[in-house]
Amino acid sequence: MSEQITNILLVGVGGQGILLASEILSEAAMLAGFDVKKSEIHGMSQRGGSVVSHVRFGTEVFSPIVPEGEGDILFGFELMETVRSLPLLKPGGSVVANDLQISPPSVLMGQEPYPADLVERIKAQFPDFLLVDGQHLATDAGNVKAANTVLLGAVSKRLNIPEEFWLSALEKMVPVKALDVNKRAFSMGREL
């Protein structure tokens, strides 16, 4: 009998709260009783470079890295990084993506345009696609920096982890001064 492991990829650029989101996700899965493995790859993350975090959970998980083509959920914090990571998803996988566009240096220097058809490309490959206006919802919750938590709320509805464990993980990982805003942001994401 093959073991069921849930494979989640979080992708974006440095400074978007990807690592905190992966910590909260991992903690919620552990609180729910799963074995959890996590790995991060930071490419110049301090300067807006690519960041990818792998989170795998199940009864027993041996490797922290999601094999290419085996991701269940792609959790994208920026559209171009989301499209770049689509090959990591398995056919029929889910994509939850922020509608944010952060121009890489080549676009900022005028060497090439930011691709205009990213949302259509994601939808064409993965019909189970939720586009989230994370910045807008986070601002409504009280702080634009809580966009990562809005997205986490949206992803949480696709996972078999009860809400109480998500809230406990938020309480453990988020600084007290930001907890109320993050709980509101998480709830707004769950309602999408």
Q: Count Cβ atoms below 10 Å from residue 29 Cβ, excluding itself.
A: 26
pLDDT in tens, 88-147: 999 999 999 999 998 887 788 889 898 889 999 999 999 999 999 999 999 999 999 999
46 pLDDT above the threshold of 70: no
CA distance 64 to 41: 11
CATH of domain 5-190: 3.40.920.10
| DSSP state, residue 77 | S
Q: What is the pLDDT of residue 161?
A: 96
2 pLDDT above the threshold of 80: no
The domain locations on the chain are: 5-190
Three-state secondary structure call for residue 52: strand
